[in-house]
Structure 1
């Protein structure tokens, strides 16, 4: 299967092979958990506190790994086998009720051997979603077994693009991964319920959503409520997602985390995406396209109001960056380039990949927005991870609540008056002794400058020397262009910063970049 078709098809099955590549890049070997008795949540009365109470109780008990044993035909599934087992659309949950949402389910097998318990909640009572081998179609009849295997994940559909046509816009599949799109978009980056030890050379722990409760919607309802139970060796958790699809798809997330042990490297509101190359790092690729990535930069609005843009990179060695903050206004992995001609990829449609902005709600205290950039030899790997890391550890037997809003859409939902960096270009300087760095800035702050204004660039580096700084109007974009040269000398890393100023007034967001050879 070609690179384009592979990446496109992976988007249809959630975590897919991209997740395996991420585990491998982090030095983690994905394998099956040891088989053990699995105590499934019981049906019965259900309210807003049910999952939280269950998670709190489970945190006081020894961890029980899920039973991943499967019949032989299913246990040896490959990627093509998994895709060839298809949920029948006529069997979708709530289809017969003519409701605004429908839910379809994924089979077990391939990378997803563990059963995920599924419940429907109606009138305050939770009942298991029925399972039968007959609700799937099978390209290979040998994959149809009589065992009551249950499900591994779910996808949610609604008429997000065309009236009366139910399109998939959200999927939960693999560990605690999920992804969504807004109207007119295609799948790109993913989110996770919780990260533990991401970027740690000792390896990462992947907590999983082991059960879901789907609240049956009513006619005309524009949001769907999904509850999820998180479980792993180190932690349990309760999540409530209130999901509202549309021109921007919004997840209102309420989470309660119950550590079984001290968690020193937690990742809250974790985002995972792919960055292969763009105009800032073409030196190691020979590709006919201008760029290839799910997200091009990390955007941060700090608690003090500073707006930061950090272009992403595919480094030659693992890079870990931490941006200290207190009560951030928001952060996200963003896709700013929105023209087909920015990518020239008919199959993968990178220009239609969602940006994902995290809006914290309430007091998140002190901590840092972390960014992990993992070397990748191609665009199949999800090699970018970002999350909020609290300053203090999550202590065993404690309870920690985080509430936030996730905006899956075309841009940052919070408007800014500052100019935005829409392009970062890096190449050899004319004398080949340094690097030429070019930034393009657009927006009202620069478009409406007086004709006699003389903005200047405030540029700094942690290593080497900055030379030949030039600031000039860019008539093609209606903005300004900053050009400067970095002479890094023998440095192996340089932290760069740049901001466009008018006297003492910032005209642009702050551009931060980590250069490595």
Structure 2
């Protein structure tokens, strides 16, 4: 992934813009822009007429048709520019621009939802035209500086009502019946975030990813227009439409948001490629992982762990459940899990123990995981996990998405449907034991053969039916497989303190080679746990000493 100036937080491999004096804004401060209601904009009074007669009964079919027409035309880069006075705003100046807090769209409609646009400027330089849809009629929302307080920043002059916005947030009574809290926001390119009850913003979802982790610079599709259906007084869900554009693709999206203890979004995506796209990411997710429980060398301060997500969870088309712990690698790593009609995948924050983070500001223990559940058949392809080195929690360095085996047909509409859920726990997803902890030790000296590297892996499984099997541990079998090298030692120990078992595996691998390992538990042919999987690379053989002259 390349630097993304439109993202609501820096994406993988990108550097945040420098502040005055050379100081870079931290990721926490960028998240603060998103999560702070002080940065949210109110809307003008109703009754301002559009420039042309709106079409009645506006719906998703209208957005799809616009995407088809947009895809038939060359990409227009000049149609998405903002005045220089806004694009040159510094991080500190942009934070000065705040919502006039006594105004919000839908306040007088009787529903629990409020619509709150974001001001353009700083990183957010792609204008989005916002519309409110009431009784089937879509009306544009005009921009005006009267909606905002600008603090020490001079109020911009001469801005057009058609300028647009940077995006929006929606608040609702998520955590308390009388308090408005953010539940979803769209800000930057095609990024959006959602949270459930008691959660804090963490990882991001994206509507589409192009050439993510590929050999070419990543392309960032962005939203040209967004429509929101005005909720009825008794509405429990929110409907959003989006028109997406980029040099390679046009697209239409429909999001149905259902807030609650677990917030769900049903997504329908219609994608119209302008050209052949070799690496297209469906339902992409992006997150941050700097240090985990086994990464002592990557800790930068007193905190034991620093991450928004700690694992990639998958349910293959075969029904197998898989857990892949995330890493902060020494070099770019891309893992591909080939599959057909996957049942689900997501970047999850499984560790919810505050004591494992000790962060009173970031609240990593309260960050949600995002679970993608495809609807219908997605065919053949692969779930890809992209891990990029980082030494700073300010930068997202993890990506995951579904990539179809064959490129989508140029000029034709391809539809994908899926649900996206913001989860606080992975426990209810399947009945098997889950990975509680996993450690990859340093390279082993004992047992090292000529031309072979060796490493120890330790995996704790808990939950499911493992507490029952502690009554007769001999019934439980440790199943281990490797794609390269060999397994030297396999040990399975009862772990009553965790209500499960600990697997200890030593593996060897030829110097310089990379292999995949899979570990799961079973008893008399019955699977007891999800499959833990990881890759490792044996150090390259040292060059032989050169004779002295």
Return the TM-score normalized by structure 1. Answer: 0.90
**Aligned partners of 1:367, 1:180: CA distance in 2, in Å?**
27
1:51-62 map, 5 Å: 51-62=63-74
1:471 aligned onto 2:497: no
1:140 aligned onto 2:161: no
1:159 aligned onto 2:173: yes
1:3-402 map, 5 Å: 6-14=26-34, 43-45=54-56, 46-148=58-160, 149-402=163-416
2:471 alignment counterpart: 451
**Which is worse superposed, 210-219 or 148-157?**
148-157
Confirm or deny: 8 A CA contact 1:73 1:142 kept in the other structure: no
Q: For residues 48 and 489 of structure 1, do their structure 2 counterparts lie closer, same or farther at Cα, with a shift above 3 Å needed? A: closer
**Aligned partners of 1:8, 1:172: CA distance in 2, in Å?**
18
**Aligned partners of 1:250, 1:417: CA distance in 2, in Å?**
21
Q: For residues 431 and 41 of structure 1, do their structure 2 counterparts lie closer, same or farther at Cα, with a shift above 3 Å needed? A: farther
**Aligned partners of 2:125, 2:168: CA distance in 1, in Å?**
14
Q: For residues 407 and 197 of structure 1, do their structure 2 counterparts lie closer, same or farther at Cα, with a shift above 3 Å needed? A: same
Q: What SS does the corresponding residue of 1:82 show, helix, strand or coil?
A: helix
**Aligned partners of 2:411, 2:80: CA distance in 1, in Å?**
28
Deviations 1:99-128 (A, max 9, x none): 211011111111122211000001111111
**Aligned partners of 1:225, 1:66: CA distance in 2, in Å?**
30
**Which is worse superposed, 503-512 or 299-308?**
503-512
**Aligned partners of 2:183, 2:340: CA distance in 1, in Å?**
33
- State the shift of 1:72 in Å: 4.3
Give the greater-gyration-radius structure (CA): 2
2:41 alignment counterpart: none
- State the shift of 1:143 in Å: 4.5
Q: What SS does the corresponding residue of 1:115 show, helix, strand or coil?
A: coil
Q: For residues 13 and 400 of structure 1, do their structure 2 counterparts lie closer, same or farther at Cα, with a shift above 3 Å needed? A: farther
- State the shift of 1:4 in Å: 13
Q: For residues 69 and 48 of structure 1, do their structure 2 counterparts lie closer, same or farther at Cα, with a shift above 3 Å needed? A: closer
- State the shift of 1:344 in Å: 1.0
**Which is worse superposed, 173-182 or 58-67?**
58-67
Q: For residues 286 and 122 of structure 1, do their structure 2 counterparts lie closer, same or farther at Cα, with a shift above 3 Å needed? A: closer
- State the shift of 1:9 in Å: 2.3
**Aligned partners of 1:5, 1:152: CA distance in 2, in Å?**
19
Deviations 1:437-480 (A, max 9, x none): 21111113211116224122222333444333211111211111
Confirm or deny: 8 A CA contact 1:41 1:211 kept in the other structure: no
Q: For residues 232 and 100 of structure 1, do their structure 2 counterparts lie closer, same or farther at Cα, with a shift above 3 Å needed? A: same
Q: For residues 277 and 396 of structure 1, do their structure 2 counterparts lie closer, same or farther at Cα, with a shift above 3 Å needed? A: same
Q: For residues 506 and 41 of structure 1, do their structure 2 counterparts lie closer, same or farther at Cα, with a shift above 3 Å needed? A: farther
Q: How many pairs does the alignment contain? A: 493
**Aligned partners of 2:54, 2:149: CA distance in 1, in Å?**
28
- State the shift of 1:430 in Å: 7.2
Confirm or deny: 8 A CA contact 2:80 2:126 kept in the other structure: yes
**Which is worse superposed, 5-14 or 248-257?**
5-14
Gaps of 5+ in 2: 1-18, 37-50, 449-453, 540-549
- State the shift of 1:283 in Å: 3.1
Q: Pick one of 512, 515, 518 that aligns with 1:497.
A: 518
- State the shift of 1:93 in Å: 1.1
Confirm or deny: 8 A CA contact 1:464 1:486 kept in the other structure: yes
Q: What SS does the corresponding residue of 1:497 show, helix, strand or coil?
A: strand
Q: Pick one of 461, 479, 500 that aligns with 1:441.
A: 461
1:481 aligned onto 2:502: yes
Confirm or deny: 8 A CA contact 1:461 1:495 kept in the other structure: yes
**Aligned partners of 1:240, 1:189: CA distance in 2, in Å?**
21
**Aligned partners of 1:375, 1:265: CA distance in 2, in Å?**
21
**Aligned partners of 2:200, 2:417: CA distance in 1, in Å?**
26
1:406 alignment counterpart: 420
Q: For residues 4 and 293 of structure 1, do their structure 2 counterparts lie closer, same or farther at Cα, with a shift above 3 Å needed? A: farther
Deviations 1:251-272 (A, max 9, x none): 0111111111122211111111
Q: For residues 393 and 71 of structure 1, do their structure 2 counterparts lie closer, same or farther at Cα, with a shift above 3 Å needed? A: closer
